[in-house]
Structure 1
C-alpha cells in the first residue's frame, strides 16, 4: 500500500541543490535503505521526512497517505482505515501534502514519526534508564502500564540489566540502545534511522540491528535507514537507493545496489612504517577500580602498561566495555587512576599526568588534542569561527583564514571546497563534512599528541579513506603522535603502526595490527573485522 510519495523534491542551501528532483515511492511496512557518500543528501532527506521545518522542500511535494480521525485528528498508517480511534470516531483515508497541511494535522503526523540520529544520544542525563523510556510514551497511559511496557522495551534492546542506572553513566553503546527504546516507546508509524550504529562496536551494532529487525521491521513499521555498513542494507532493507550529489543514481534490490556502490570505494595505501622517535607516552600498571553496591568492586582497567613513541600512530582496540576509553581518559587526566603511573613527555621533561595543577598536567593539556566520538561544533559560528575564535585561536584575520583552509585541506577537502565552506554554519554541512571539520579543529591547534575516540563512527567508506589519508598526512607533515581508540579493526589495519588489544579491563597484547588480528578469536574477528583480510 502506498504510504509516502516524493514528487520532484528539490532542496537548496546557499544556492546549492543538495536534493535534485527526487521522485520516490515508499510503501507501508517497507524498509528502505539509503546509501551514499558524505554530502550526498542522505541526512537532508531523512530530516525532511521527519518534518523538520528547516528542511522543507523548495520545490515538489511529499504526499502522505494516512488513516486520520475526523474528530481528534489522530493519525495512523493507511492500513488502519476503517478502524476505531481511541476517541470513538472511525479513521478515514486521507492524502496529506505533508509540509502544506494544516498545523494540527502536520503536528499529529510528526508525533508518529520516530528518529535515531547519528552521534546524538538525546537522553535526560540525570534520570534513570527506565525513567527515560517512560518519558517518551504517549500521554494517556497509566503509570503501571508505562512501567511494564518500558521493561519489555528495555528487554528487547538488551538493557534490562541497566534499568536503574543514571543515563549519563552509560557507555555510548548503552545510550544508543536506550535511545532506540525511547523511540519505540512512541509507537511510531514510521521509523527513521540515520546511521544508528555508527559509533558502536560491531558486536553491539549487531544487537541493535537485531532489535531494529524485531522491534521495527518485523512489526510492519515503515523504516528508512542510512548506514555505511553494506551488510546492514542487505540484511534489513527491502530496497535501496544510492544518492549521488543529491540525485538518485541507482535504485533497486539491496545486494545489487550495494555491490555497485562498494565497487566505487578506493582502497587506501598505507605507507611503510617509519622509524619512530623515543617514547612519548608511558603507562605503568595503571588501574581504575569502581565500587558498585550491586556488583562490588568493578575493575574497569586492571594493570595496563604500555609505551607510545613519538610520531607513532598507536591503536587501542577492543569491544564496548573493554576499558579502552577509560584508559584514554586517565592518560589525558580526565579521570583519576586508582593506582599506577602515567607520564607524557613535553620537550625534554616528563609530565606526571596523575598530578593536578598548572605546573603538572596543566602544562601539557594545551598540547593534547581530543576528538571525542560525541564531537560537536559550535552551531552559531561559521566553519571559520569554529576553527579560530571558538577555540580561542586568536590570529590576524587573513592569517586565520589561510590556516583554516590549510587545516581543512589536511583532512581531505579540496582547496576550492575548503575556501567555499568557511562562511557556512555546521547545520549547512553533511555529517561527514562536520566530522572532518571537527578533526580540522583539533589539528589547527598544532597539538603534539592527538587522541581520536572512534574516529570512523559515522563515516561512509569514501570519507573513511579520506580521513585515513589525513591522519597519515598529518603525522608526516606536522610530526604528530596519534592514539586511536577504536573497535574498527579494518581502520586500525589501514592507519596504525602498532596496536594494543584490551578485553575486560586488561591489556592482552601489543603488536602490529596484523599481529593483533592473529590474537583475536574467530568470533572476535567476525565482530571486529568487516572486510576479508
Structure 2
C-alpha cells in the first residue's frame, strides 16, 4: 500500500533548482534509500518530508496516505484503516496533501515522524541519558516507560552510559542517544539524513545495526540518505540515485550502488614530494583530567611524534583513541598536563605550551584548524565566510577570485562555485558546508593545517576531490598537514606517514600501508569500510 507519494516536486533556492520534478512512491513497511553526492538534493527532500520550515515545495505535492481518527486526530499508517483508536473511534482512510492540509492534521502527521539529521545532537544537555529517552516516551506508565527506555538504550548500545549527563558524552555517543530518543517516539515513519556520515566506523556500525533492529526488523517505513553503500545495501528495499535534483537511476540497491560507484574516480597519482626537516616536535605529552562519572581519564597518555615540513601526516584510530584531544593540544586550544610541544617558525622553535604573544601567540597566525564540530557564520554568505568573517580583508574582486579558486580546490566546479558565493549556510547541504569550512581554513594559506575528520560528511567523489586538493595545496604552497581521521583508505591515499592511536597512546608510526598491519582485525575491517568499498 502506498504510504508516501511524491508527485512532481520542484524546489528552488535563490534561483537554483535543487529538486526537479521528482516522482517517488514509498510503500508502507519499506525502506527507501537515497544515494547521491553532496548537493544532490537529498537533505532538501528529507526536510520536505518532515514538514520543516522553509522547505515547502514550489510545485507538486507530498501525499501521505494515512489512517486518521476523526475524534482525537491520532494518525497511524494506512493499514490501520478501520481499526479502533484508543479513544474509541474508528480510524478512517485519508489521502492528505501534506503541505496544503489543515494545520491540525499537518501537526498530527509531523508528530508521528521521527528524524535524525547529520551533525545534530538534539539532547537535554543537563539531563542523564535515560532521562533524555524517557522525555520522548508518551502514553505509557512510569514502569513501562523505564523498561522501554532501557531496551532502546540497549539497542543503541548505550546502557554503559545510562546515568551519565548528556553533555559529557562524545559526539558518537550523543548520536546513539538521539537514535534511542527518536525510536522512543514510536514513529510511523523514520527519516534519517546521513545518520552515520560524521561518525567513526565503530559508532557508525552501532547506529547501522540499531537501524536494522529498531526500524527494519520492526517493519517501520523509512527514508534514509547516505553515501555509505553498505547502508544502502543492508537497509534499503529500493534505492534512488539523485544527481542535481534529478533521479538518475532507481531500483535494486545492489544495481544502483554499483552504477554510482562506477562514477567514483581514483585520486590522482602525484610525484613523490621532498619534505624538509622537522616542523612539529611532540615529546611525551599527556592530557589527564578528572570526571566525576569516570574518574581519571587519560585522553592523551605519553604521546611523542615528529612532523616534517611539507609532510602530510595522519593520526588514525577509532572513537575515543585521543585523536581530537591531541589536535587541540597541538593547536594550543588545550594545555597538556605534562610534556613538550614545539613548532618551528623560521629558524626558531616556539614552545606551544607557553601562552602570550612571545609563546604560541607568535605561531597562531601560521596555523589553521578544521574542527570536527566546525561551524560557519550563519549571517554571512559563502563569500563572507571566506573573507570578512575570518578577518581576511581583500579588495572585492580579488576576494571573489580567491574564494572561487579555493572552492574549486575543495571540489566545487567553477560554475557551481560561482552560484553558491552568495548562499547562506542553511541553503547548503551538509557536505557542501563541510567543504566550505575546509576552504575557510585553506584560503588563509596557513603554514601548518590540522584537519580533524575532514571527510566525515563527504560522498566518495568529494573525498577524492579533497584528497587531490590537499596534495595540490602542499605542492603549490609547501603546506604541512596533520590529518586526524578514522578513514584508513583516505589516509592511505593522501598521507606520507601515519601513526595509530589507541587508548591515548601511539602504538606505531610508519608508512600508512605499514601502520594498517598493526590494526586489529576488527579495527582493520571498520577503518577500511569508508574507502574503496564505500
Per the TM superposition, whether the score is higher than 0.5 is: yes
| 8 Å CA contact 2:273, 2:475 repeated in 1 | no
- 1:332 corresponds to: 331
- 1:314 corresponds to: 313
More deviation in 397-406 or 233-242?
A: 397-406
| 8 Å CA contact 1:120, 1:374 repeated in 2 | no
Is 1:454 paired with 2:453? yes
More deviation in 234-243 or 320-329?
A: 320-329
| 8 Å CA contact 2:77, 2:188 repeated in 1 | yes
How far does residue 415 in structure 1 lie from its aligned partner after superposition?
2.8
- 1:67 corresponds to: 67
More deviation in 68-77 or 125-134?
A: 125-134
- 1:114 corresponds to: 114
Q: Return the alpha-carbon distance in structure 2 between the equivalents of residues 369 and 143 of structure 1.
A: 50
Q: Secondary structure at the match of 1:161?
A: helix
Instruction: Pick closer, same or farther for the CA change 1:102–1:297 going to 2, 3 Å.
Output: same
Instruction: Pick closer, same or farther for the CA change 1:393–1:339 going to 2, 3 Å.
Output: same
Q: Secondary structure at the match of 2:148?
A: helix
| 8 Å CA contact 2:409, 2:466 repeated in 1 | no
How far does residue 464 in structure 1 lie from its aligned partner after superposition?
0.7
Q: Secondary structure at the match of 1:55?
A: coil
- 1:124 corresponds to: 124
Q: Secondary structure at the match of 2:273?
A: coil
Q: Return the alpha-carbon distance in structure 2 between the equivalents of residues 186 and 279 of structure 1.
A: 54
Superposition pairs of residues 136-151 of structure 1, within 5 angstroms: 136-138=136-138, 140-151=139-150
How far does residue 358 in structure 1 lie from its aligned partner after superposition?
2.9
Instruction: Pick closer, same or farther for the CA change 1:270–1:129 going to 2, 3 Å.
Output: farther
- 1:84 corresponds to: 84
Could you give the per-residue CA deviations for residues 41-98 of structure 1, whole angstroms, max 9, x where no partner exists?
Answer: 1111111111113111111111101111101212111122233323332221111001
- 1:258 corresponds to: 257
Q: Return the alpha-carbon distance in structure 2 between the equivalents of residues 296 and 64 of structure 1.
A: 51
Q: Return the alpha-carbon distance in structure 2 between the equivalents of residues 267 and 410 of structure 1.
A: 16
Instruction: Pick closer, same or farther for the CA change 1:358–1:296 going to 2, 3 Å.
Output: same
Could you give the per-residue CA deviations for residues 262-297 of structure 1, whole angstroms, max 9, x where no partner exists?
Answer: 111111123233111121111111112233455443
How far does residue 324 in structure 1 lie from its aligned partner after superposition?
1.2
How far does residue 377 in structure 1 lie from its aligned partner after superposition?
1.4
Show structure 2 runs of 5+ residues with no match: none
Superposition pairs of residues 17-416 of structure 1, within 5 angstroms: 17-138=17-138, 140-293=139-292, 295-416=294-415
Q: Return the alpha-carbon distance in structure 2 between the equivalents of residues 334 and 128 of structure 1.
A: 28
Could you give the per-residue CA deviations for residues 5-35 of structure 1, whole angstroms, max 9, x where no partner exists?
Answer: 1111111222222111111110111111111
Q: Return the alpha-carbon distance in structure 1 between the equivalents of residues 215 and 417 of structure 2.
A: 40
| 8 Å CA contact 2:164, 2:293 repeated in 1 | no
Instruction: Pick closer, same or farther for the CA change 1:133–1:273 going to 2, 3 Å.
Output: farther
Q: Return the alpha-carbon distance in structure 1 between the equivalents of residues 315 and 329 of structure 2.
A: 14
TM-score, with length taken from structure 1: 0.96
Q: Return the alpha-carbon distance in structure 1 between the equivalents of residues 344 and 114 of structure 2.
A: 48
| 8 Å CA contact 1:371, 1:455 repeated in 2 | yes
The RMSD of aligned alpha carbons is 1.7
Instruction: Pick closer, same or farther for the CA change 1:428–1:346 going to 2, 3 Å.
Output: same
- 2:516 corresponds to: 517
Q: Return the alpha-carbon distance in structure 2 between the equivalents of residues 119 and 214 of structure 1.
A: 22
- 1:6 corresponds to: 6
TM-score, with length taken from structure 2: 0.96
Q: Return the alpha-carbon distance in structure 1 between the equivalents of residues 376 and 429 of structure 2.
A: 13
| 8 Å CA contact 1:172, 1:199 repeated in 2 | no
| 8 Å CA contact 2:190, 2:222 repeated in 1 | yes
Q: Return the alpha-carbon distance in structure 2 between the equivalents of residues 330 and 302 of structure 1.
A: 12
